Amino acid sequence: MLFSSIPFLYYFLPAVFLLYFIAPKRLKNAVLLLSSLVFYAWGEPKYVFLMLASIISGYVFGLLIEKNRSEPKKAKLFLVISVAVSLGLLLYFKYADFFIGNFNAATGLSLPLLRLSLPVGISFYTFQLISYAADVYGGLPAQRDPVSFGAYIAMFPQLIAGPIVRYSDIEKQLKTRSHSFDLCCEGASRFVIGLCKKILISDRFAELCFAFRASEEKSVLFYWMYAVAFTLQIYFDFSGYSDMAIGLGKIFGFHFPENFDHPYVSKSITEFWRRWHMTLGSWFRDYVYIPLGGNRRGKARWFLNIFIVWFLTGFWHGADWQFIAWGLMYAVLLVLEKLFLLKKLEHTPSVFRYIYVLFFTVIGFVVFNAQSISSALHDLGGLFGAGGTALLSEEALYYLKSYAPLFIFGAAAATPLFAVLKEKAKSKKWLCSMGKVLLPVALCAGILLCTAYLVDGSFSPFLYFRF
């Protein structure tokens, strides 16, 4: 089920709200768990049993790890088994065909592919299970209520595409959390803003990307328009989903961590990855990079750790070589920045630093969105006129004129501009008074416009659903 769908917005969500708020306090987590399982089973009912098995496994191993803390070897054994079970399921469903295909290519054999459909959200809830087991091993109390633990793992607002919520973030909120009209309104506003990001901005850029792929008159200009369009599409798609998840969390009394902080205004690649998908970055830092030794074991080991983390980051995003290439590209850039680029950038005018980051971000997303390494190389070549690609084409100029307003608005909305204007408006009493009237009107208009697009069928699935 998609957040940006009529069944979710007008049937599932109102029903869950009604059940949740009429349920007594002791049953609210049960309502969340059951509704989350229904949400998860909507598209692929058989995989709800995989979800339940993962919940039971994580719950049992958490208790075993806590029980055996006085015997570190036993506790560590249960931690390793718990992580192995979670990773084993992820590797089987997401990466089995990748390994089989590459084994066939290397050996000349023809082992049949499994062709398994990917359980939605498995990459995200696997990381939650691993972080839970590691945190319990590190001293966090295990969750003794299986319903509360199940609600944490399966919670539908952030189940599909994050943010990656650690158990330590909401441990206390699972037991006691406050609900208020103001918090509910704040959450609803955040949800609608995320919905508008997805349907009114991201999906419009998606249309341009589809037009580019279908075009037989590709030009250098058209390649760059596509590259920039996808860069903006994925930002508004993923940050829009995160906004919706955080907004729904607030309605249910949860405070999920932020996932984006205007990454396209970064002045270095290092800063960019501190602002983009922040929960994933902090997860790899705390559960992979630091346990490997971080930067504490000399430069050679430090840089190796960076490459390991970014190899895994790329591989986590998809079972294809272009994702690994994408991750390793950023590993190279980050190592170069740590060696000498950051010092040079400090003495470079800000405009050139922005250009540097945006250039490699756009290049990176071209690789990220390719279907294969060869497709990525072809698209990269097109950006620079390889193979005799024409500089301009009538089709590219047509789409440039048609999409120019969207490019301008999207570029502005990806910066802190509107947040800054909002803060300045708070100092003007008349603007605050007007905002209290206009904001609800704007949000209602936004959801009505989004509904019109959904009824028309003019939308696309969230990009991160495939991960």
Q: How far is CA 425 from CA 417, 428, 429, 435, 446, in A?
A: 12, 5, 8, 9, 21
Q: Is the dihedral of CA 308, 315, 210, 3 positive or negative?
A: negative
DSSP state of 73: H
Position of tokens 């959200």? 121
Q: How far is CA 451 from CA 18, 186, 192, 202, in A?
A: 21, 21, 11, 15
Tokens of 157: 């607002």
CB 228 within 8 A of CB 362: yes
d(CA 201, CA 4): 13
44 SS3 class:
coil
Reading phi first (left if > 0) and then psi (alpha if -120 to 50, else beta), residue 387 is in left
* Helices 321-336 and 373-383, axial angle in degrees (round to 10): 60
Q: How many residues does the chain have?
A: 467
Other C-beta atoms lying within 10 Å of the C-beta of residue 35? 21
CB 65 within 8 A of CB 116: no
Q: Where are the alpha helices (DSSP H) in 252-341?
A: 269-275, 278-284, 299-317, 321-336
Reading phi first (left if > 0) and then psi (alpha if -120 to 50, else beta), residue 257 is in beta
Question: Of 255, 317, 347, 378, which one is the catalytic site residue?
Answer: 317
Residue 148 identity: S
Query: Quick one: how far is CA 442 from the chain centroid?
Result: 27
d(CA 17, CA 157): 12
Whether 317 is catalytic: yes
For the residues of 212-270, what is the DSSP string, one character each?
HHH-S---HHHHHHHHHHHHHHHHHHHHHHHHHHHHHHHHTT--PPP--S-GGG-SSHH
Residues belonging to the active site: 317
